[in-house]
Amino acid sequence: MRNLLILTLGGALLAQTPAPQQEPQDDSTIIRTEVDVVNILASVRDKHGALIANLEAKDFAVFEDGKQQPIKYFTRETDLPLTIGLLVDVSGSQRNLIGVERSAATQFFSQVLRKKDEAFLIDFGEESELLQDYTNSVRLLTEGLNQLRVSSGVGGFGPGPVPTVGQPRGTVLYEAIYLAAGEKLRTEVGRKVIVVITDGVDEGSRVPLKDALEAAQKADAVVYSVEYSDPSAYGGWGFSMGAGGDSALHQLSDPTGGRVYRVGRGKPLDAVFKELSDEMRSQYSIGYTPLNPAKDGSYRKLEIRLANKDLKAQARKGYYAIKPEARTQ
């Protein structure tokens, strides 16, 4: 049976919309150990875009708000538990793509999940719905993927208000990310990843893009966006223009240390998933105790510099110094 995501935001989210970032339940700690440690996951590529997986701690320098921080922990990331939230766009514009998404995602889970890893599956159109909760079973995830159905038109899966002409609900992309981060990943530990397959168009979310991004940052989740669009759904023009598409996906992914992958004629969805799987298994985990110990809820900017100037690090751009009382939420 399909489990309706408590996440539908029908009434609960509206009750906290004035300032979601100030609500205790949205303030999740980035620090998961008894000692205050900020953890950063980084991927490194050369100037040709190839992943580099043989660096050492001495090759990295970490800066917080412009001040270098002493690296306390360092490891090449291959075995730490990984939690993946796969979010699949099932709005009307994706009607012709769902079959390919289902097949490629099944293969992706088969490739990337290991014994200590878990994943969950959410689809989103008019509402967000949990198709499969946390599991390590590729079989159960495949069964969830087999439930993907187009969601378009008035109605939806949840008890939210009827859409209006002024605010149609057709693709609640920002809502889905906000909820996956805040409700599913916020209290998890280890590496946390949101993979979202979408054309990047949001229509009707009750939260703005900035709140979706903040929820991901506070959950310490990396957002990988897979831009997959059907040109025929937009009169043959495709979508990556105007308010949405590629620009919105970069705004969601880049600050968290993720990337935007674009499916095209030369790169099918299964090839994108293969690249994503390789990146997840070629990361570095860097930990440090901030020289600024204040937990004032402020946003701290992060920068990673490499000794080899021909290499480029991909990591989150900052974190929230969460107040101690928020950790008990």
Task: Provide the pLDDT for residue 28.
Answer: 38
Q: What is the pLDDT of residues 294-315, one digit of tens each?
A: 988 899 999 999 999 999 999 9
pLDDT at 260 over 50: yes
pLDDT at 43 over 90: yes
Question: Model confidence at 266, in pLDDT bands (50, 70, 90)?
Answer: confident
Distance between CA atoms of residues 266 and 262, nearest Å: 10
Question: Model confidence at 68, in pLDDT bands (50, 70, 90)?
Answer: very high
Question: Model confidence at 46, in pLDDT bands (50, 70, 90)?
Answer: very high
Task: Identify the top-confidence range among 16-25, 194-203, 239-248.
Answer: 194-203
Task: Provide the pLDDT for residue 13.
Answer: 47
User: What value does the mean pLDDT take over residues 160-177?
Assistant: 65
Task: Provide the pLDDT for residue 80.
Answer: 77
Window from 6-10, 39-43, 192-196, 264-268 with minimum mean pLDDT: 6-10
Task: Provide the pLDDT for residue 234.
Answer: 61
Task: Identify the top-confidence range among 66-70, 280-284, 321-325.
Answer: 66-70
Q: CATH classification of 79-280, choosing from 3.30.230.10, 3.40.640.10, 3.40.50.300, 3.40.50.410?
A: 3.40.50.410
pLDDT at 327 over 50: no
Enter the tokens of residue 145.
């993927």
Task: Provide the pLDDT for residue 292.
Answer: 94
Task: Provide the pLDDT for residue 235.
Answer: 58
User: What value does the mean pLDDT take over residues 146-153?
Assistant: 82
Task: Provide the pLDDT for residue 76.
Answer: 84
pLDDT at 206 over 90: yes
Task: Provide the pLDDT for residue 34.
Answer: 38
